[in-house]
């Protein structure tokens, strides 16, 4: 029986991580399902790309059920409409997980907007003739099924390391950005109001905007989870500039070189951690509530303290 590794990539960030993982060493036959390549929007071309992805999903299901091939899977987490089927399939016996970002270093369970999204996927899955299953334990899925291997950039800080039979490190290549301008900032935006609520999230945003107002230029990288129509540039300071769509499609870890920023700011974005670890001499700042507590490998600690351990400094905070 032929062995295949089915790899799921959801975002440009996942693409970058996969480029640093040796997949052919154990599995010479690899099938990569890249959802980032599926265009968004309502054009005929975009609609066609989505139909082709669904067709591929059914084709792989047929192969799996035919018992003609042995399929192992590698994915960031199972909270995705199509990969969920393979993660929970009894015919898939080898499951591997690779880094999805900050969620692998703290205790994150399904709740809030993630739970609502999961309920929507459960409804859509009926049209794909299967039952979407929500993750009950850690959002990565490591507590749901036996995970043979995990790939992470910071395995020494991994939350729940005992849930993985084997852990491998994803290499981080440090580099010096010679063109860095410390009057230029890359602002990695997020829907912080959804995280903390409109009132507290709004105060954090105002605080960060005040901090960034002293710089010559602030380039804004929007988060891919923003709900269409919700984002507004009206309240942004005059030194802010939202990056064009071509830049938005790239990850912040690459954009920093394209805009020559010497400073990177954000709220709780994983990009802050990645940039702090990848680039020497770049200043990274987070803006989080001092009341934001998380469970990490060290136990219960402030989110700001966790970022400090990743060499991401905190800016001043409003009283909690």
Q: Which domains does the chain have, with CATH numbers?
A: 2-169 (no CATH), 175-314 (3.40.50)
pLDDT tens over the chain, length 320 residues = 788 999 999 988 999 999 999 887 778 789 999 987 765 544 455 677 788 888 999 999 998 888 888 899 999 999 999 999 999 999 998 999 999 999 999 999 877 667 778 888 999 999 999 999 999 889 999 999 999 999 999 999 999 999 999 999 999 888 888 889 999 999 999 989 888 888 999 999 999 999 999 999 999 998 766 544 455 555 889 999 999 988 988 889 999 999 999 999 999 999 999 999 999 999 999 999 999 999 999 999 999 999 999 999 999 643 33
User: What pLDDT shows up at residue 318?
Assistant: 39
User: What pLDDT shows up at residue 226?
Assistant: 57
User: What pLDDT shows up at residue 229?
Assistant: 46
User: What pLDDT shows up at residue 320?
Assistant: 36
Total-model pTM = 0.88
User: What pLDDT shows up at residue 44?
Assistant: 52
User: What pLDDT shows up at residue 306?
Assistant: 97
User: What pLDDT shows up at residue 234?
Assistant: 58
Contact by Cβ (8 Å): 249, 12: yes
Q: 121-170, pLDDT tens digit by residue?
A: 999 999 999 999 999 889 999 999 999 999 999 999 999 999 999 999 99
User: What pLDDT shows up at residue 45?
Assistant: 55
């Amino acid at each position: 029986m032929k062995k295949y590794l089915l790899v799921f990539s959801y975002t440009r960030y996942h693409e970058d991580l996969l480029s640093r993982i040796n997949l052919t060493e154990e599995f010479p036959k690899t099938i990569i399902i890249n959802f980032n390549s599926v265009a968004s929007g309502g054009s005929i071309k975009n609609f066609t790309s989505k139909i082709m992805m669904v067709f591929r999903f059914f084709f792989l299901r047929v192969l799996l059920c035919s018992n003609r091939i042995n399929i192992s899977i590698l994915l960031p987490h199972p909270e995705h409409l199509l990969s969920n089927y393979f993660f929970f399939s009894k015919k898939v016996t080898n499951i591997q997980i690779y880094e999805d970002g900050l969620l692998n270093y703290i205790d994150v369970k399904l709740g809030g907007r993630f739970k609502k999204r999961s309920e929507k996927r459960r409804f859509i899955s009926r049209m794909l003739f299967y039952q979407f299953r929500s993750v009950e334990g850690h959002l990565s899925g490591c507590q749901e099924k036996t995970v043979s291997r995990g790939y992470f950039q910071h395995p020494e800080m991994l939350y729940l390391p005992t849930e993985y039979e084997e852990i491998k490190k994803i290499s981080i290549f440090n580099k010096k950005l010679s063109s860095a301008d410390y009057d230029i900032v890359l602002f990695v935006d997020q829907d912080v109001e959804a995280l903390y609520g409109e009132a507290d999230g709004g105060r954090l945003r105002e605080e960060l905007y005040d901090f960034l107002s002293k710089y010559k230029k602030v380039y804004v990288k929007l988060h891919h989870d923003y709900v269409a129509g919700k984002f507004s540039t009206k309240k942004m300071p005059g030194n802010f500039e939202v990056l064009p769509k071509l830049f938005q499609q790239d990850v912040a870890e690459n954009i920093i070189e394209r805009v020559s920023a010497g400073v990177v700011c954000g709220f709780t974005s994983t990009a802050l951690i990645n940039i702090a670890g990848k680039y020497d001499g770049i200043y990274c700042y987070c803006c989080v509530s001092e009341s934001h507590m998380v469970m990490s490998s060290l136990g219960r600690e402030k989110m700001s303290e966790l970022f400090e351990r990743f060499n991401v400094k905190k800016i001043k905070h409003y009283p909690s």
